[in-house]
């Protein structure tokens, strides 16, 4: 059943996002071509700079749009008119929820790849790539690990941070929809509340950790290296995000199980 639900979630979100991906790739190619032309005809340079500026805006906007599409799908499929069909399918709530999460994950990855591809196609990225190399170099020293580990953990961290926001929005929507009136207002309020509650809980845990075992991130006892401290902070951040995701998922699951569509 999960496969079937996924099929339709992926299709639906795809319909919103693929035009954007196409636009990015085409614009990238155009910029690259204009770039070539600009070398011979100066007038193209001005046009190209303009398009490039808009292109960058487009790329940044892609991440926000991807997030928006994910949230919209969650709301539309599980709480708007369509929900009357979704919730009368012989499918468990877990499956419906999992599919939304997986699809959001898939598309942020695809968006990221598309944006990166767009950048690589559009311009000469050697300067940027050099910067990245320097950054990686510093990171390997700081964390005392391989470049690959840095890259993997770095991507994982970004992904998890994004998904935490997605889960938070999902939970906010599900909580807001439990009310009879002003559902959207409540949803926004809950999202904000969940964000701050999440932050506060993280700080509390950080505080507790600092108090009880400060040696994890400081070298009071000279047992902990700077590298270890850095790693532990990173692990803490990942762990905290993961816990938040689980908590938000539980909220969604609970609200969906005790459904009240009015």
Interface with another protein includes 36 (CB under 8 A)? no
261 forms part of the interface with another protein (CB under 8 A): yes
**Chain CA centroid to CA 115, Å:** 14
Q: Which of the stretches 6-14, 135-143, 182-190, 232-240 binds another protein when contact is defined by CB under 8 A?
A: 6-14
Contacts (CB under 8 A) with another protein, residues 163-192? 180
Stretch that binds another protein, among 42-50, 86-94, 205-213, 225-233 (CB under 8 A): 86-94
Tokens linked to 231: 């790693």
Cβ neighbours around 62 below 10 Å, total: 21
**Residue 87 beta carbon to another protein: minimum distance, rounded to whole angstroms:** 6
Choose one: 76-84, 183-191, 196-204, 243-251; the region binding another protein (CB under 8 A).
Answer: 76-84
The distance of closest approach from Cβ of residue 173 to another protein in the complex, given in angstroms and rounded to an integer, is 17
**Angle of CA points 98, 100, 103, to nearest 5°:** 105
Q: Determine the 3-state secondary structure of 89 from DSSP.
A: coil
Rounded to an integer, what distance in angstroms lies between the CA atom of residue 198 and that of residue 191?
10
d(CA 35, CA 214): 54
68 touches another protein by CB under 8 A: no
Q: How far is the CB of 254 from another protein (least distance, A)?
A: 11
Which DSSP helix (H) or strand (E) runs through 93?
helix 93-122
Rounded to a whole number of angstroms, the minimum distance from the CB of residue 175 to another protein is: 15
Tell which one of 39, 43, 85, 126 touches another protein (CB under 8 A). 85
Alpha-carbon dihedral sign for residues 114, 118, 121, 126: negative
Any contact of residue 18 with another protein (CB under 8 A)?
no
Nearer to another protein, 15 or 147 (CB): 15
Q: Which of residues 43, 81, 211, 221 is near another protein by CB under 8 A?
A: 81
Q: Which of 49, 56, 65, 58 is nearest to 23 (CA)?
A: 58
Question: Among 162, 175, 173, 181, which Cα is nearest to 76's?
Answer: 173
Which of 165, 161, 151, 162 minimizes the C-alpha distance to 238? 161
Q: Which stretch binds another protein (CB under 8 A): 8-16, 106-114, 119-127, 209-217?
A: 8-16
Residue 177 is classified by DSSP as T
91 binding another protein? (CB under 8 A): yes
Q: How far is the CB of 89 from another protein (least distance, A)?
A: 5
Q: Among 23, 102, 243, 259, which residue sits at the site for another protein (rule: CB under 8 A)? A: 259
Burial class (CB in 10 A: 0-12, 13-18, 19+), 13: buried
Stretch of residues binding another protein (CB under 8 A), selected from 1-9, 137-145, 155-163, 182-190: 1-9
| Interface residue list for another protein (CB under 8 A) | 1, 4, 7-8, 12, 15, 81-85, 87-92, 180, 257-262
């Amino acid at each position: 059943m999960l496969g079937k639900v996924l099929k339709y979630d992926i299709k639906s979100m795809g319909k919103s996002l693929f035009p954007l991906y196409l636009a990015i790739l085409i614009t990238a190619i155009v910029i690259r071509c204009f770039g070539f032309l600009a070398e011979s005809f100066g007038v193209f340079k001005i046009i190209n700079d303009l398009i490039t500026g808009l292109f960058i805006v487009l790329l940044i906007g892609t991440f926000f749009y991807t997030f928006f599409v994910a949230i919209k799908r969650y709301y539309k499929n599980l709480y708007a008119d369509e929900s009357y069909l979704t919730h009368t399918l012989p499918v468990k709530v877990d499956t419906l929820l999992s599919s939304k999460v997986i699809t959001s994950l898939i598309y942020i990855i695809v968006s990221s790849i598309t944006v990166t591809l767009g950048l690589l196609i559009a311009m000469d990225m050697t300067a940027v790539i050099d910067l990245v190399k320097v950054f990686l170099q510093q990171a390997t020293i700081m964390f005392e690990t391989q470049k690959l580990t840095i890259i993997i953990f770095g991507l994982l961290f970004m992904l998890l941070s994004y998904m935490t926001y997605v889960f938070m929005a999902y939970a906010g929507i599900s909580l807001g929809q439990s009310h009879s009136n002003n559902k959207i207002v409540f949803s926004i309020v809950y999202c904000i509340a969940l964000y701050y509650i999440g932050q506060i809980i993280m700080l509390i845990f950080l505080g507790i950790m600092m108090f009880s075992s400060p040696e994890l991130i400081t070298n009071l006892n000279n047992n902990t290296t700077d590298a270890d401290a850095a790693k532990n902070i990173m692990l803490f951040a990942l762990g905290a995000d993961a816990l938040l995701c689980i908590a938000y998922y539980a909220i969604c699951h609970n609200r969906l199980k005790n459904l009240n569509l009015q």
